Amino acid sequence: MRSSIRTLKRSLMLKLLVLLVILAGLLFYSNRTAISVILDGRQATEIINATGRQRMLVQQFVRQANLALVGLSLSDWDTLLEQRKLSAETSAQFDESMHALLEGGQTRLGASTVTLPRIEATDIRAGLMEISALWDEVKRISVKVLRSDQNQLRDHPDLARLQSTAIRLVAKVDDTLQLMQLRELQRSSQLIFYQNSLLLGGLLVFALLAAFVYRSIVNPLAETIEKLDQSEIQLRNLYDAAPVGLWQANLADGQLLKTNSLMARHLQCTGDCDEGCDSEKSLYSLLPGNAVVFKSALEREGEVTDFETCVPEADGSKRTLLISARHYPDKGLGEGAVIDITARKRTEAELAAVHKQLIQTSHQAGMAEVAASVLHNVGNVLNSLNTSSTLIATQIQKSKVASLPRIARVIKDKGNDVGEYLNHDPKGKQLPDFLCQLADHLVKDQATQLKEMELLQENIEHIKEIVAMQQSYAKISGVVETVVIADLIEDSLRLNLGALQRHGVEVRREFEEVPPVDVEKHKILQVLVNLVRNAKYACDESGRSDKIMTIRLAKAENRLRISILDNGVGIPQENMTLIFSHGFTTRKDGHGFGLHSAVLAATEMGGSLTAQSDGPGKGACFTLEVPFTPHRIPSSDPASKACMELVETRNHNHIAAI
C-alpha cells in the first residue's frame, strides 16, 4: 500500500513536472521569441536610422563637393581644402555605415556607436547593393570633377551627372528605407501575433493544468480515499480475524490501547477493545511472574520474539502463550502479537513421547540385532561346549577304570596267597603288567578330560563375556558417552569374532588418528555389528578364498566416517535403493530389519548410512557418518589425560596392525 502510494505520488509529480516543463518551455520560447523580435526590432530601427543617415550623408557629401568646386573655381583654396577634407570624412562615414549595413559591424549613429547585423533579407540587401553602387559612382564623379582644372569647370558634363546620380542615390535610399519600414511593420505585426499566441498558449496550458489536476489528482484522490476506506475495513476485519492476538499497549503500565478479538479472548474481555481495552486488563496480566523480564527485555532490545508465558486458567489448567512485541520508545508504546500455543505444546509433548517410544523401539530393535548376534555367538560357543562334554562323556564311557574293581576282588580273594598268585600263577604273573597299562590309560584319559574341561571352562567364560557385553550396551540406551571409536569398532568385531574366524574372513583395519568423541555408544555399536555381520555374509556367500573385510576410520571436517568394505557378492544396482527398506533382505534366514534399523539409528544420531557397490561380485562399501563432537576435557583432569593417552596408544597399535 505504501509502495503504491509512493508510486502514485511519483507518477503525479512526474506528470506535474512534465506539465511545468512544457509551461516553462512555452514561456521560455515565447519570451525568447518576444526578446528576439524586440531585439530584431531594435536592430531594424538601427538599420533604418543608419540607412536614413546614409541619405543625409549623401546630401552632405554632394553639398561639400559642390562647395569644394566653388572653392576650386574661385581659387579659394581654403574653402576647397576644407570642403574637400569634410567631403572625405563624410565619404569615410558613408563607407563605414555601408559596410556595416551590408556585412554587419559597428557604425556611428548620432553620438553613439551601434553594431548592426549582416542584412540577409534579399530585397533589402539588393537595395543596399544598388545604393552602394550608386554611391561609388557619385564618389567617382566627384573625384573626377574635383580633379578638373578651373577652366574645365564651366559646363562640365560630370557636374550634371553628379547631381543626377546623387538624386538617384537619395531616391534609392528612400525606396530602401520604405522597404525597411515595411519589414519593420511586418515584424511589429509578428510581435503582436506572438503576444497573442503567448496569451492563448498560457490559457491553453492553464486549461491543460486544470484538466490534469481534475483528472490526475482530484479523481484519483477520491478513488484512493474510497479504496482507503475499503482497505481500512478489510484491514480491520483482517485484524479482528487474525489467527493471532494483536495488541497495542502502553508499555509503562501495560494498559492495552488496541486489541483484536482474539487478543480480547486471550484477555477474557467481553467487549470490543477498539477504543481501548478494559482498564483493568493489562498486557502484563498475560505475563504472571515474568512481566518485568518481558518489559525490560523489550525496552533493552527494542524487540522481543517468542516470549513464552504460562497463564493459569480458572479450571486449574494452564495456557501457554507466545508473545512477540516491538517497542516504540518515542511514543512509549508497544505493539505485538500473542499466539496461544497450548495445543501446540500438548502436541509437542505427545510427539516427544512418541519420539521417545520410537527411539526405544529402535533401540530395542537394534538391541535385538545385537542380541541375535550375541545368541549366534553364544550358540557357536555352545556347540563347542557340547562337543567337549560329549567327548568327555564318551571318554568316561570308554574308560578302563571298570577293570579296577575286578582286580581288586581277585587280590582280596587270594588273601595271603597274593604273592604266590602273582609269582606263580600264569594269570597272576600278567596282573602287574595289566595294572601298569591301566594306569597309563587312566593318566591319559585324565589328561584328555582335563583338557576338554579347560575348553569347556573357556567357552563358558566366553559366553559369560558376550552376555556381559550385551548387558553393558543394553542398559545405556540414549546416553551420550565419551568413547574411543576404534574401541567401539573392535567391540563390534569381537561380537562377530567367532563367525569371522570360522568363515576365514581377514579383517583389515585402516584407522586414522581420531580423538575421543561424544556419541551414543550403543547406536554406533548396533550399526557396526550389523554392518560387520553383513560384510561377513557377503564374503562368505561369494565363495572366494580371499575373504577380506576392511574397516576404515576417518575424520572429515566435522564428520566422523566409518567405512566397512568387503570383497563379497556385491549389490545389484536395482537393490541399491531397497536395501535400507524395512523387510528387504536377500538372505534366506534374513528378516530385513538390520540395515533398516541401522539407518534409523544413524539418522537419530544426526548422521547417515550410505551404501555403494559396483555391482554383483564386486563387493560393497557401507559408510556410517556421524557428527564429529570431540570430547573436551580440561587438561588438568587426570582421567582425561589417561583417556587421551589410551587413545593414542590404541591408535598407534591399530596403525601398527594395518
Partner 1 sequence: MSPFPKFKSVRAAVVVLVLACLFLCPLIHAQDAKDSGEEGSRPVRIALSAAFVSESGMPVFQKINDYLSKKSGLRCELITGLSYGTINKMLGDGAIDSAYVCGLPYVIERDKAQPTVDLLVAPIMKGERYKGQPKYFSDLIVKKDSPVQGLADLRGKTYVYNEELSNSGYNMPRHKLVESGETKGFFGRVLRSGSHEESIRMVAEGQADASYVDSLVLDYDRAKGLGYAARVRVIESRGPAGICPVVVSVKVPDSVRKKLQDAFVGMDKDPEGRKILDEALVERFEVVRDDNYDDIRKMKKAAEEARFSVIK
Q: Which residues bind partner 1 (CB under 8 A)?
A: 72, 75, 77-78, 80-81, 84-85, 88, 140, 143-150, 152
Residues present in the chain in total: 658
Of the pair 94, 511, the CB lying nearest partner 1 is at 94
CB of 159 to partner 1, least distance (A): 13
Of the pair 136, 518, the CB lying nearest partner 1 is at 136
Cα distance between residue 1 and residue 9, in whole Å: 12
Of the pair 135, 628, the CB lying nearest partner 1 is at 135
Burial of 351 (0-12, 13-18, 19+ CB in 10 A): exposed
CB of 139 to partner 1, least distance (A): 8
CB of 175 to partner 1, least distance (A): 26
Cα distance between residue 258 and residue 242, in whole Å: 14
Of the pair 48, 146, the CB lying nearest partner 1 is at 146
CB of 140 to partner 1, least distance (A): 7
CA distances from 175 to 164, 178, 189, 351, 361 (A): 16, 5, 21, 115, 125
Cα distance between residue 490 and residue 508, in whole Å: 11
Of the pair 88, 396, the CB lying nearest partner 1 is at 88
Of the pair 140, 319, the CB lying nearest partner 1 is at 140
Cα distance between residue 67 and residue 76, in whole Å: 10
Cα distance between residue 11 and residue 2, in whole Å: 14
For residue 153, which phi and psi values (nearest 5 degrees)? Answer: -70, -30
Q: Which residues of 236-251 are buried (b: 16+ CB within 10 A; e: fewer)?
A: eeebbeeebbbbbbbb
DSSP characters over 339-408: EE-HHHHHHHHHHHHHHHHHHHHHHHHHHHHHHHHHHHHHHHHHHHHHHHHHHHHHHHHT-GGGHHHHHH
Burial of 637 (0-12, 13-18, 19+ CB in 10 A): exposed
Nearest to 53 by CA among 103, 85, 115, 98: 98
CB of 73 to partner 1, least distance (A): 10
Of the pair 116, 141, the CB lying nearest partner 1 is at 141
CB of 133 to partner 1, least distance (A): 13
CB of 146 to partner 1, least distance (A): 5
CB of 38 to partner 1, least distance (A): 40
Of the pair 67, 251, the CB lying nearest partner 1 is at 67
Of the pair 85, 591, the CB lying nearest partner 1 is at 85
DSSP 630: B
Cα distance between residue 254 and residue 172, in whole Å: 103
DSSP 417: G
Of the pair 132, 563, the CB lying nearest partner 1 is at 132
Strand partners, 481: 519
All three cell numbers of 25, joined, read 518551455
CB of 47 to partner 1, least distance (A): 27
Strand partners, 585: none
Q: Are strands 256-259 and 245-250 parallel, antiparallel or unpaired?
A: antiparallel
CB of 110 to partner 1, least distance (A): 27
CB of 78 to partner 1, least distance (A): 7
Which residue matches cell numbers 531594424?
A: 44
Of the pair 64, 651, the CB lying nearest partner 1 is at 64
- Kindly report the number of other CB atoms within 10 A of residue 258's CB atom: 17
CB of 75 to partner 1, least distance (A): 7
Amino acid at 230: Q
Of the pair 95, 481, the CB lying nearest partner 1 is at 95
